[in-house]
Structure 1
Amino acid sequence: MPFCRSVLFGLFSVLLSFSTFAQTTPSTFLKLNARQSCWADSVFTNMAPDDRIAQLIMVAGYSNRRPAYEDSLITLVRTNKLGGVVMFQGGPVRQATLTNRLQANSPVPLLIAMDAEWGIAMRLDSTVRYPYQMTLGAMQGAGSDSLIYQMGANLAKQARRLGMHVNFAPSVDVNNNPNNPVINFRSFGEDKYAVARKALAYMRGMQDNQLLTSLKHFPGHGDTGTDSHYDLPLISKSRAQLDSLELYPFRELIKAGATGVMIAHLSIPSLDTTRNRPSTLSPAIVTNLLKNELGFRGLVFSDAMNMKGVTKFYPSGKADELGMEAGMDVLEFTEDVPSALAQVKQAIADGRISQASIDARCLKVLQAKAWAGLDQYKPVVLDNLVNDLNSVQDELLNRRLTEKSLTVLKNDQNIVPLQRLDTLRIASVAIESDKVTAFQQMAANYTKVDHFNLTSRTPDSTLAQIRDSLQNYNLILVDVHLNSIRPAVKYGLQSKTAGILSELVATGKAIVTVFGNVYALDKLTFPADTAQPGRTVEKARAIIMPYQLTNFTEELSAQLIFGAIGASGKLPVTVNQRFRLGDGITVQPIGRLKYTIPEEVGIDSRFLTQQVDSLVNVGLTQGAFPGCVVQMARNGKVIFRKAYGKHTYDASLGAEPRPVQLDDLYDMASVTKVSTSTPALMHLVDDKKFNLDGKMADYLPSFKKSNKADLRWRDVLTHQAGLKAFIPFWMDTKNPDGSWKPKTFKNERSARYPIEVTDSLFEFKSYPKTIFEQIRDSPLNAKKEYVYSDLSFILYPQIVKRLTGENFEDYLKTTFYKPLGATTLTFLPRRFYSLDRIVPTEYDSLFRKTLIWGRVHDEGAAMLNGLSGHAGLFGNANDLMKVYEMYRQKGSYAGQQYISAKTIAEFTRYQFPELGNRRGLGFDKPSFTYTGNAPRSATKASYGHSGYTGTFVWVEPDPAYNLTYIFLCNRVYPTRNNPKLGNLNTRTNIVEALYQATKRGL
């Protein structure tokens, strides 16, 4: 082993990984291990003096340029034996390919660096973008700093995978100047303690995972009004002011073991009186203050040496030499490498820089390279690179960071979260977006929301039409999309946009969410003594600040408004007198469905998706159904929503089959029973209007003299009262020759035949009464045993009407669907929806002689005008899930108790297990030995129902699972004579996959 001169130098030891983030004792610089130290020493010993200078220079690299550029960059690095490359724009595979070429042509492995303050996506496409530091500055409370630490850790792993070794982050500038053009949103805020604490978490996350960091922009760039990219900013603060504010985070993080510090291009007379000398070139700042006074022993990086903040007064080459003379360890983005090297060599020859100091700095760089793993360099593996850089865990982290940062700045009468959805007529107005936004799409998951989109280019005539339309709503959700984060362009706010917003908030009906820089709030606030006192966002009923515009901020802001999540964020800066540092109203969630990814509830999304996709695709391939929608939730969080296949198999409807959409409406078939009749009865039980142990005749007076008068409702609801399975009512309307009997059907509508069964088939007005009489007069089964029957469910609408005075559908919508936000749940959907949103069912060749599309599939329900308690309900999967999530939450949803927990428990328990009857009251439950009616892993507490058209619902309330599952399909298209769905057991196998995924965990 070669002699380790580095042991004698003892000038620099790079920070070793901490054992845990929770470590509270100050970190110290520790020596490298023997292998790393000796590698650095060996490389140093064999390096010529001129080459040691080159190790202190990093040039810029771009992976989105032509091959000729890459060749010239490689030649530059190889010829001059440079120490590193700082990467800018490009893509991950292109950058990794370029990095491998650069490393292969460098005699000493290169340090690869990047400005990746909010993730590698700051520079490269197809990579993870984390929130800005200002957004993270809003995070408060337990777990906030741990999340930031995790962000640093994840970013470090991505960087290492990409072949990077240095991240020029975090920014520890205290941004106390709202008009700062260069730091601004890149700062954690204006509270120096919060800045230091959050930056420390970020730094440790990176360094604990073998990524070198660089605190910036020393000695503090937060109180400037000039962008150092274009000029030299002047900071006029006294030394005492700098000590008390700007230097505080640097001091704290240096004590904690920072591996790097970046020097900014700033003119600070209180630290260096030389006129127009940037701090980058100042021995008083770099050596005296940073190294000697603050005791920093890590790598000192310059800010980019091509910036006007340095080149305005010092030409390239000379600036590099003066930076090295000032004490810089690494010069970043040197523009003229030959000139820089020549001038540094001349400075050494002239005695302005000692060779010993160059040697010490070179060894420091080599030790950093060893610590970063370059003593055992391996090329970047290109296979699966993009996938590896985009872990689902990063999406989960992004969601958590965003959710924790959301800040509510106003909340009149606690309007957020929204309550009583049945009282609200909601419009969503997206400003500066000409397409439906992610915010609007998410809002529509909760209830009916009508969307309007406006931009500064919207014609006045269109604005006038929208203005008139908005008068029909009592709540307006306004999402302001600002397309810039820069103060120089007013954060993307247009004067017309501000005017539109002012008009909307002046209605007193607006909840405003500003997707953009927090300082934009100042452009939306006009003091009362101005000429435009009415133009102020303060008039909004609620104001939500997500700090930036991303899919995560849009989706989660909508979820906040509807109460799926809460808010705890606080303003990290003072915007103006109205919006000040620390402002923020805590909002608690109220239990509406949250939309997230499986990992949030401990499920591997890849495993779950593979399982479900495989099962569905088998069904599609074998023709078990033309298409379907699958929706799953755990712990009240929707973790899987996917539409598969098409409405039909072919173009038989005159056009190419329509792909299934998540919001398509399906015929629920017998799922209607537990979505209409059963909840209605539960509610009536709570109101003490219905007695489960009462008799049929108690609630159906016409049954008093029938053979059903004394049947007990508990037996009826568990299908063991002796009722026939069904009655083919339509067959009794036919003569032997196939013609219709009198007072049954006609082919044209009239006053006597008003009930529309198809476009050309109309039923006699009083025939539904005949159906009820047929049920009343039907024989009972010879033996009282379990026989699944539709008949009683046909009668429940009459009971509801008799006990409440309301029509069945009105009762259901008023009592359940509208308050739940389940607005697509309806009978007779053709009244409200176009056919392209309704999935067709069967071609009925016997009774109706037509395709059943937008009308109930069940013949009996069709003869009851499409409205019955056993069939006829339509809706989409998301709205149906709200009903079953309410059940899972023991009758409560979004703070409203719809059904008592006691009644839910009674209806969903086994009623007669001793008789071998698996049924609850209305609900199906797992068989006592597996038959396929329920998933294999279902517990005895679970319940649900299946539907003849291919629908299925299941609730698993056991705390180990807490699952809600919806499956909708039209397996009867084009004919009911298709048993493949049942033979494959697709529906329960899919939910079994959810059970297995839950057991398996992450």
Structure 2
Amino acid sequence: MKNAIILSLILFYSILNSTAQTIDSIEVKSNTENIDSIINRIQKINSSVNIIKDTKRLIPIKELGNTKIISLSIDTLTTISSFQKTLNKYSRISCITINTDSISVNYETGDLQLKNNDILILSIHDISFENLQQFSNLFSKLEVYPNIILSIFGSLEKLESLPIFKCASTILFSNTNTEDTQKVAAQIIFGGINCSEGRPTTDKESKNETDNTSNETIRFQYTVPEMAGIDSKTLNETIDSVAQLGLDNNAFPGCQILIAKDRKVIYHKCFGFHTYAKLQPVLSDDIYDLASVTKITGPLPALMRFVDEGKIDLDEKLSVYWKDFERSNKAGLLFRDVLAHQAQLTPWIPFWSSTVDEQKNFKKHIFSYTKTKKYSVEVAPKMYLNKNYRKKIYKSIKKSDLLDKKEYRYSGLAYFIFPEMIKNISDKEYPNYLKQEFYKPLGAYTIDFNAHNNYPASRIIPTENDDYFRNTLLHGYVDDEGCAMMGGISGNAGLFATANDLAKLMQMYLQMGEYGGKRYISEETMKEFTKIQFPDNNNRRGLGFDKPILGNDTLSIEKCYPAYSASTESFGHSGFTGTFTWMDPKNNLLYIFLSNRVHPTRASRQIYEKNIRISIHQGIYDAIQVFNEKYKQKPLSKL
């Protein structure tokens, strides 16, 4: 009954003017397509690509962190193909397209300098043998590379005679060059789709090679909701309506939603624009300020790794790892209490306010509008903080009062010291440690600090028009003032990411520490961090992770957090800028919502008042329920 009321309220709002942008993936053709035709169509598309050989077991590609991957496409197109677009969902791929009608037949291989462990993905798109002969010089140069994955779309006729065909370690083939088959081939290469059946062979030798090939599914598959037991019609209507409700009420100028179930990304849609000027629509590869989602994306994976390695004891005093607390009121704080937000720490310190006088003018010797050796901490464009001010921040945290009672009170203070602590334990700079140990191996290259240093403004979603501290529009610079005063690199905030890359790290959490055939964190540690630590103290929190309100499944949609259908095993975090991510191991469900609700100012609270993020979250569970009711006699194991 509760679900029906919610759906009727949500669907009341019109979606006719929605500016939704759908991700480039295989989709349900229409709301009238039934489950059988959807599944049969997707299975037919998936089986249209076959592995002919894989002598070096390159498929699926497992090592991403230290492997350079180049995609070289020979095509009639001049733009990036669906094949290359899909490859880029999994990792950072250098994509080169050679048009068959251009002078590129004499392409020099200078950009293709590959080491022994690097991989060249060569794709040939519906090109006849005769036309390919003009590339014989290029192919002869490519034959020196030891790891070539050759993907052929079109016809195999006579291609077997090409030297490149024989020297390629791996060959995939589809007799069609459609966008769907290209997407499938790319997913097979990275382990999103298993290609273990129906493989054609060219000779006895390749047959033996194929029979011994282990083609695992280890990463995201990009497909339709029905393939994960979710009703497309309900999901789209619900989410589209709630997102439009947010746009109509100026809860945000735009947003982006990604949903994965059973390691299948079944929904990734963008709504609205970067700003209310409506000049630039939100796109799927846009980069967002994650705000406090940084807490579980930045310091937390490192801390969990240190627990696995015995470098941190959760029941030890925090001062053992942060010596500055030894002679302070924080000497006895336990690490577990700090991560569970019941260590009596002050919730927040407005560090920036100590830099201005009573007239709101900056005090002397704190900021400079020119970067120098002394003023080297960039907090905004042409605004640099004295490098020694970091010590003042640490001192303020050390001297801050403790709360009277040991109870749940959210505080981000410890997250300001975690980066330096991680550096001391790992002997590596905090951002470098995260990139080397987590982000790059996951293929999540856009997760990074200070987005303005790495990406054009056109790809970054702007946040606040800060008129009280930095006096500028924050565009690629972190929204959080305290993090900005740490040079944009902190543990409480600071990370930027695309939804797709954030999803890889969150999926690793959902799979209890494993993703892409690699274990990052032990299952034991993941379970410890994601369970409620102090339920008897009315504290719902895990270690770093947020958890559902105690008794959440009994609450209404207006009072629950997160969705009332989320299991007690679920966990996640929200962010001040309008971000939210939640994982549910019981339902194998991942939900990511990204927005810039603080644009142009943080005064807007419509995202909370209209309950946008939670209503969408509940809508996912409703769509699962609708699927089960409609197709309860159909075994999901076949999906």
TM (norm. structure 2) is 0.89
Amino acid at match of 1:442: T
Q: Which of 990, 994, 997 is equivalent to 2:616?
A: 990
- The alpha-carbon distance between structure 1 residues 921 and 411, as it changes in their structure 2 partners (threshold 3 A), is same
- Would the aligned equivalents of 1:393 and 1:599 in 2 still touch at CA under 8 Å? no
Change in 2 beyond 3 A, CA 1:844/1:606:
same
The answer as to 2:75 corresponding to 1:428 is no
- Structure 1 residue identity aligned to 2:323: P
Q: Match of 1:558, as an amino acid?
A: A
> 1:471 and 2:113 equivalent?
yes
SS across alignment from 1:949: coil
Tell me which of 760, 770, 775 is aligned to 2:392: 770
Partner deviation per Cα, 1:449-489 (whole Å, 9 max, x = no partner):
1211112222249722xx21121673221111015xxxxxx
Give the secondary structure class of the aligned counterpart of 2:316: coil
Residue pair 2:328, 2:398 contacting (<8 A) in 1 also: yes
Taking a change above 3 Å as real, the CA distance of residues 454 and 939 of structure 1, as seen in their structure-2 partners, is: same
Partner of 1:932: 560
Partner of residue 95 from structure 2, selected from 443, 447, 451: 451
2:243 is aligned with 1:616: yes
Matches within 5 A, 1:938-957: 938-957=566-585
Answer whether contact 2:449 2:496 (CA < 8 A) is retained.
Answer: yes
For residues 732-760 of structure 1, the C-alpha deviation after alignment (integer angstroms, 9 at most, x for no partner) is: 01122333223321222111101111122
The aligned counterpart of 1:729 is 351
What are the superposed Cα offsets for residues 541-593 of structure 1, whole Å, 9 maximum, x if unpaired?
21112232122221111111101222224555x75687679966543324211
Distance 1:502 1:998 in 2: 52
1:546 to 147, 153, 174: 174
| Per-residue deviation, 1:426 | 1.3
Deviation at 1:405, TM superposition (A): 4.6
Assess if the C-alpha contact under 8 Å between 2:106 and 2:137 holds in 1.
Answer: no
Residues 647-726 of structure 1 mapped to structure 2, 5 A cutoff? 647-650=274-277, 657-726=279-348
SS of aligned partner of 2:448: coil
Distance 1:582 1:679 in 2: 39
Secondary structure of 1:414's partner? coil
Structure 1 stretches of 4+ moved >4 Å: 386-393, 490-493, 574-585
User: Equivalents in 1 of 2:146, 2:247: separation in Å?
Assistant: 51
Deviation string for 1:910-947 (max 9, x for gaps)? Answer: 10111110100011111014433311111110000000
Once the two structures are superposed, residues 40-92 of structure 1 have per-residue CA deviations (whole angstroms, 9 ceiling, x without a partner) of xxxxxxxxxxxxxxxxxxxxxxxxxxxxxxxxxxxxxxxxxxxxxxxxxxxxx
Per the alignment, residue 161 of structure 2 pairs with: 525
Letter in 2 for 1:471: Q
Q: Which residue of 1 aligns with 2:146?
A: 508
Please tell me whether the aligned partners of residues 60 and 191 of structure 2 are also in contact (alpha carbons under 8 angstroms): yes
Instruction: Select between 730-739 and 847-856 the one with higher mean Cα deviation.
Output: 730-739
Q: CA deviation at 1:663?
A: 0.8
Partner of 1:888: 510
- Take 1:906 and 1:810, find their aligned partners in 2: how far apart are those partners? 26
- Look up the SS of the partner of 2:149 in the other structure: strand
- Spell out, residue by residue over 1:240-281, the C-alpha distance to the aligned partner (whole angstroms, 9 max, x if none): xxxxxxxxxxxxxxxxxxxxxxxxxxxxxxxxxxxxxxxxxx
Distance 1:786 1:389, change over 3 A: closer
622, 625, 634: which one aligns with 1:999: 625
The 1:729/1:583 distance shift into structure 2, 3 A limit, reads: closer
Cα deviations by residue, 1:641-689 (Å, 9 ceiling, x for unpaired): 0111100001xxxxx6211011110000000001111111111100110
Q: 1:911 to 1:580 in 2, by over 3 A?
A: closer
Q: Do 1:566 and 1:587's aligned partners in 2 also have CA atoms closer than 8 Å? A: no
Q: Aligned equivalents of 2:104 and 2:132: distance in 1?
A: 15
The alignment partner of 1:644 has SS state of: strand
Match for 2:53: what amino acid?
K
Structure 2 distance, partners of 1:396, 1:436, is 28
Determine whether 1:645 maps to 2:289. Answer: no
The answer to whether the Cα contact below 8 Å between 2:60 and 2:190 also exists between their aligned partners in 1 is yes
Cα pair 2:488 2:494 within 8 Å, conserved: yes
Q: Which residue matches 2:455? A: 833
- The DSSP-based 3-state class of the residue aligned with 1:421 is coil
Shift of 1:953: 0.3
Q: How far off is 1:511 after superposition?
A: 0.8
Counterpart of 1:414 in structure 2 is 57
- 1:625 aligned residue: 252
Letter in 1 for 2:456: S
Say if 1:431 and 1:497, in contact at 8 Å, map to a contact too: no
Shift of 1:393: 4.9
Identity level (%): 37
Deviations 1:506-549 (A, max 9, x none): 423421100112x33x33425xxxxxxxx331111211122321
Matching residue within 785, 804, 811 for 2:433: 811
Contact 2:53 2:206 in 1 (8 A): no
Match of 2:188 among 560, 564, 568: 560
| AA at the equivalent of 1:982 | Y
Q: Decide whether the 8 Å contact of 2:59 with 2:215 is kept in 1.
A: no
Aligned partners of 1:641, 1:504: CA distance in 2, in Å? 37
Task: Tell me the distance in 1 between the aligned counterparts of 2:613 and 2:149.
Answer: 41
Partner of 1:912: 534
Counterpart amino acid of residue 446 in structure 1:
Y
CA distance in 1, matches of 2:98, 2:197: 29
- In 2, the alpha carbon distance for the partners of 1:663 and 1:692 equals 37
Q: Which amino acid is 2:597 matched to?
A: R
Alignment of 1:141-220 (within 5 A): none
Q: Distance in 2 between matches of 1:806 and 1:762?
A: 25
Partners of 2:240 and 2:474 lie apart in 1 by 28
Map of 1:30-109 to 2, 5 A cutoff? none
Deviation of residue 396 (structure 1)?
Answer: 3.4
Distance 2:445 2:211 in 1: 33
* Structure 1 pair 571–670 and aligned structure 2 pair: CA distance change class (3 A): closer
577 and 458 in structure 1: CA distance in 2 versus 1, 3 angstrom threshold: farther
- Given that 1:570 and 1:581 are in contact with CA atoms closer than 8 Å, whether structure 2 keeps it comes out as no
CA distance in 1, matches of 2:31, 2:349: 59
Report the Cα offset of residue 395 of structure 1: 4.5
Larger radius of gyration: 1
Cα distance per residue 1:830-884 (max 9 Å; x no partner)? 2211111010000000000000000100000000000000100000001101111
Distance 2:206 2:311 in 1: 53
Question: What is the rounded CA distance, in whole Å, between the counterparts of 1:798 and 1:580 in structure 2?
Answer: 55
Question: Which ranges in structure 1 are unaligned for 5 or more consecutive residues?
Answer: 1-129, 131-385, 484-489, 527-534, 651-655
Report the residue type matching 1:717 in the other structure: L
Alignment partner, residue 489 of structure 2 = 867
| Cα RMSD after superposing both structures | 2.2
Q: Distance in 1 between matches of 2:485 and 2:52?
A: 55
Contact 1:699 1:799 in 2 (8 A): yes
Contact preservation (8 Å) 1:482, 1:493: no
**Secondary structure, counterpart of 2:267 in structure 1:** strand
**2: CA distance between counterparts of 1:718 and 1:856?**
25
Match of 1:383 in 2: none
Q: Distance in 2 between matches of 1:699 and 1:587?
A: 44
State the Cα deviation string for residues 96-139 of structure 1 (Å, max 9, x = none).
xxxxxxxxxxxxxxxxxxxxxxxxxxxxxxxxxx9xxxxxxxxx
Q: 1:957 to 1:583 in 2, by over 3 A?
A: closer
The answer for unaligned runs of 5 or more in structure 2 is 1-25, 632-639
- Structure 1 match to 2:133: 495
TM-score, normalisation: structure 1: 0.57
Q: Which residue of 1 aligns with 2:17?
A: none
Q: What is the alpha-carbon distance in structure 2 between the residues aligned to residue 387 and residue 807 of structure 1?
A: 50
Asked if 1 retains the 8 angstrom alpha-carbon contact of 2:48 and 2:181, the reply is: no
Of structures 1 and 2, the one scoring higher in RCO (CA 8 A, sep 6+) is 2
